Amino acid sequence: MSDVRRFQTAPFSMLVLMMKQQAGKLGLPLMNLLRLNGTPILQQLHLEEKLLRTSSDNWCIINDGTDTPAIVMGVSGKPSELLEVGPVLRDRIPVIRRFTGGGTVIVDSGTVFITLICNKDAVPGMQPYPRSIMSWSGLLYNEVFRGIGDFKLRENDYVFGERKFGGNAQSITKNRWIHHTSFLWDYAVGNMAYLKQPARAPKYRLGRDHTEFICRMKEYLPRSVFIEKTVESIESYFSVNPTNSEAIDASQGAEFVHSTMLLTRQELEEASASQLKTIGVSSV
């Protein structure tokens, strides 16, 4: 039986052991660890995209909150379908279209961001495909939340029981992949009103509104404990090398064109007009 087949069919505990043994045989690959605190999400996404496209190293980026609330949509997201655009415009909430897929989230100081950027052969036995990356990430975070809540990987979400606390997005290139997560350590209920109920939602959501569908991580463990446990879990698969943003700036070229963009007010006004037209209300 091939190594890939054994990984696919092995029980969970054996799978973890096999992956760690495989990594031990080859020597743990190096992963650079960058810790940020309150970095604006647009700046973080620009950095991630640059490292995915121009670096040949493995990276983990942990950003403990973002300075101001912002809405982040997937690469194909349409504000008229995903947002209550009128309130977004009224309250001047920034809207970002990121370079990865996935759903729409509103993030703020209560959000913890964890990003993994890896070469395709960095994790033994893992294939560079969305389902395989997602399954491995489930193993990684199962170690983080062992004995805490009823943690599961449900479809593409991290949940405690039936309530989501972590949303994921990915992008895969020829030789590399990125998996980044927005963890809801806390959230403001009022911010959920900016988001429409998505037309495409995981089956386990069962039509629940945002506040019935999500939960706060702070009800399960301290913020600092979560971050430290995540670093410890990553160290099972990688030799972690702490670094800083100044070192990245010095080693990476300055010229790079980002596809992650902040939507303009005009784009949002056009989306609002489209929404009004759909419900038969004149914007004049």
Domain spans in the chain, listed from the N-terminal domain onward: 3-278
What pLDDT is attached to residue 281? 59
Are the C-beta atoms of residues 184 and 216 closer than 8 Å to each other? Answer: yes
pLDDT tens digits, one per residue of 195-232:
998 888 889 999 999 889 999 999 999 999 999 999 99
Average pLDDT value for residue range 100-120: 97
Query: What is the pTM for the complete model shown?
Result: 0.86
What pLDDT is attached to residue 181? 98
Superfamily of domain 3-278: Bira Bifunctional Protein; Domain 2 (3.30.930.10)
On the question of pLDDT at 23 being above 60, the answer is no
Residue with structure tokens 């973080």? 44
Amino acid of residue 280? G
For residue 117, with 0-12 CB atoms within 10 Å meaning exposed, 13-18 middle and 19 or more buried, which class applies? buried
On the question of pLDDT at 284 being above 50, the answer is no
What's phi and psi for 218, nearest 5 deg?
-65, -15
Mean pLDDT of the chain: 89
On the question of pLDDT at 248 being above 90, the answer is no
Q: In terms of DSSP H, where are the helices of the chain?
A: 3-9, 12-26, 41-54, 79-82, 85-90, 130-144, 210-213, 223-234, 245-251, 265-278
Are the C-beta atoms of residues 171 and 101 closer than 8 Å to each other? Answer: yes
What pLDDT is attached to residue 253? 56
β-bridge pairing 70-73 and 95-97: parallel
On the question of pLDDT at 77 being above 90, the answer is yes
Average pLDDT value for residue range 182-189: 96
Amino acid of residue 146? R
pLDDT tens digits, one per residue of 137-172:
999 999 999 999 899 999 999 999 999 999 999 999
What pLDDT is attached to residue 18? 53
Handedness of CA 85, 86, 88, 92 (dihedral sign): positive
Residue with structure tokens 């973890």? 16
- The rounded distance, in Å, linking the Cα atoms of 130 and 213 is 24
What pLDDT is attached to residue 278? 73
Q: Which of 112, 106, 113 minimizes the C-alpha distance to 83?
A: 106
What's phi and psi for 166, nearest 5 deg?
-145, 125
pLDDT tens digits, one per residue of 85-94:
999 999 999 9
| Number of C-beta neighbours around residue 85 at 10 A | 24
What pLDDT is attached to residue 198? 83
Confidence of residue 254 (pLDDT cuts 50, 70, 90): low
The proportion of the chain whose per-residue pLDDT surpasses 70, expressed as a percent, equals 86
Check residues 99 and 201 and name the one with the higher pLDDT.
99
Q: Which residues contact 116 (CB under 8 A, 6 or more apart)?
A: 58, 59, 60, 137, 178, 179, 180, 234
- The rounded distance, in Å, linking the Cα atoms of 89 and 150 is 38
Confidence of residue 24 (pLDDT cuts 50, 70, 90): very low
Lowest mean pLDDT among 124-128, 232-236, 253-257: 253-257
Check residues 256 and 104 and name the one with the higher pLDDT.
104
- The rounded distance, in Å, linking the Cα atoms of 60 and 235 is 11
On the question of pLDDT at 13 being above 70, the answer is no
- The rounded distance, in Å, linking the Cα atoms of 111 and 249 is 25
Average pLDDT value for residue range 233-242: 97
Lowest mean pLDDT among 12-21, 64-73, 225-234: 12-21
What pLDDT is attached to residue 25? 45
Give the SS3 label for residue 158: strand
